Structures are given as C-alpha cells and as structure tokens.
Amino acid sequence: MAQRVITQLVSDLSGDEIADGKGESIEFSYRGASYSIDLTDKEAAGFDKAIALYLEHATKTGGRRRSTSAGSKSDYSAKDVRVWAKAQGIDVPERGRIPGEILEQYKSSK
C-alpha cells in the first residue's frame, strides 16, 4: 500500500493556507528569546513594515558578517604575527586564532 503525505503551510497569524511560494517563515529575536512565524506574503510585508522603524535605529549584533569599512584586508597577516611572536619569545599557537593580547602587542610594536 502506498502513502502520500502532504504538508500544508498555514499562517500562524490568520490561519490561512499558504500556497507554494506565497508565504515565508520569519525568524527573529526579542528580549533574548528566538521566534519563528509562518506568514503569507501580505502578512510578511506588514511585519517588515511594522519593524522597519525599529531596525532603522537599532544596532545589528549578529547575522551575516559585514566587510571592513574600506573593504580591505587587515594590516597584518597571521603568519607575520606568529613569526614576530616567536622572535619575541611569546608562545603562540601554530594554527587557529591568535589570542587578542598577542595581536595587540604585535600592533603596538609597529
């Protein structure tokens, strides 16, 4: 016997069925709690409009990384920092992230 399972997305706000491609799930955080809500395209547009004023004045603390203001690489390479640290007798990991205090010492030496 064959079975067919059909999943229907329903708006959490109105209870309306969301046709394929006519809605979205929106994830957001508020006061330390994370939320997800399924909305029709029209409801999602209303959500975007309602939150736009707050987003305009808020400071982004997570999400996708932004490039540096000049769009350039940092003024040092990890290899250079490791070579410098070893020459100074500072124990530095061979791989991975370089501790901030070592970076600061390197920057101040230049």
What's the pLDDT at 77? 82
Tokens of 58: 């808020």
Is residue 45 helix, strand or coil? helix
- Domains defined along the chain, listed by start: 9-57 (3.30.60.230), 78-109 (4.10.320.10)
Helix (H) or strand (E) holding 18: strand 17-18
pLDDT attached to residue 72? 44
Mean pLDDT score across all residues of the chain: 84
Least confident of 49-58, 65-74, 89-98: 65-74
Q: How far is CA 5 from CA 2, 8, 81, 84, in A?
A: 10, 10, 57, 62
pLDDT above 70 as % of the chain: 88
Given pLDDT bands bounded at 50, 70 and 90, which one contains residue 108?
confident
Helix (H, G, I), strand (E, B) or coil at 37: strand
Asked whether the CA dihedral 38, 23, 26, 46 is positive or negative, the reply is negative
